[in-house]
Amino acid sequence: MRNLQPGARLAGYRIESIERDDGAASVLRAQDPVEGRTVALYVAAEPPGAVAAVRFLERAQRLRGVVHPHVLPVYEARTAGGCALAIAEAPPGRRLDLLLRDGPLTPERATRIAGQVAEAVQALEGAGAELPPVTPERVWISAEHAYLDPLDGRSILARTDRPPSSPAAVASLLAAMLRGEEPPQPLLEIVARAADGAYFSVGQVAEALRRLETGTADRARRRRRAALAVVLIATLVLAAIIVLSIV
């Protein structure tokens, strides 16, 4: 790991920066000179052949088959330069935990992000891939789109605790985005039901959030149309008054 510094090369990629260290893997931002794109390199701390490194490569290989608009794609997993590594798309935008330092999100935005993350988790579960921790540190926000980072170095270590169910994990993420806010009652009910295990799958959570977001958007459109109608009527009445006063 000491040689993996900015400017060095690994497996043909030029390292630009060290993003983080999960304890069992380092995450590097690098440039792909062949494809001309920026990638994320996940480098296992254990040498190739070690149980943890083998498990890491197996997980990364399974993730290669996951194609979803809200999951950062994994391009390749292999051994190179004496390291077990996975190559993935570089995360766009800003990490959610850093975004939340500016304050809680609006209920509408939090609902949209949580719904997209729930869909990403559903895709990972459908592919039989092990889930990463569904936390703000694993979610990236670019414009109005959320992206879940499916690779997590800590998960290649033996876990002694049982991770929460995927509906509960999404509920926890949603609660973190709303901390300090007073969300509407329907959203609170979704969080409470997901945390209590009332949903059988994360797909049900995604559907509930989708319905809530659609309903909120429809109500906003109706309010806008009603406001425009009031303005139009007022304009017509004013025009009629002006015409009558001239006559």
Q: Which of 218, 226, 117 is nearest to 175 (CA)?
A: 117
Cα–Cα distance, 61 to 149 (Å, whole number): 15
Confidence of residue 147 (pLDDT cuts 50, 70, 90): very high
Give pTM, 2 decimals. 0.81
Q: Which of 44, 66, 68, 67 is nearest to 57 (CA)?
A: 44
pLDDT at position 154: 58
Residue 92 has pLDDT above 90, yes or no: yes
Q: Between 1.10.510.10, 1.20.1250.20, 2.60.40.10, 3.30.360.10, what CATH number should domain 94-219 receive?
A: 1.10.510.10
Eight-state DSSP code of residue 143: T
pLDDT at position 37: 93
pLDDT at position 13: 94
pLDDT at position 160: 45
Q: Give how far the C-alpha of residue 216 lies from the chain's centroid of Cα atoms, to the nearest Å.
A: 21
* Mean pLDDT for all residues in the chain: 86
pLDDT at position 4: 80
* Domain ranges (residues) in the chain: 9-89, 94-219
Residue 21 has pLDDT above 50, yes or no: yes
- For the segment 86-101, the average pLDDT, to the nearest whole number, is 94
- For the segment 51-67, the average pLDDT, to the nearest whole number, is 90
Confidence of residue 156 (pLDDT cuts 50, 70, 90): low
User: Mind listing the pLDDT tens digit for each residue in 210-238?
Assistant: 999 887 555 555 566 666 666 677 776 67
User: Which residues neighbour 149 within 8 Å (Cβ) at sequence distance 6 or greater?
Assistant: 72, 88, 91, 132, 138, 139, 140
Architecture of domain 9-89: 2-Layer Sandwich (3.30)
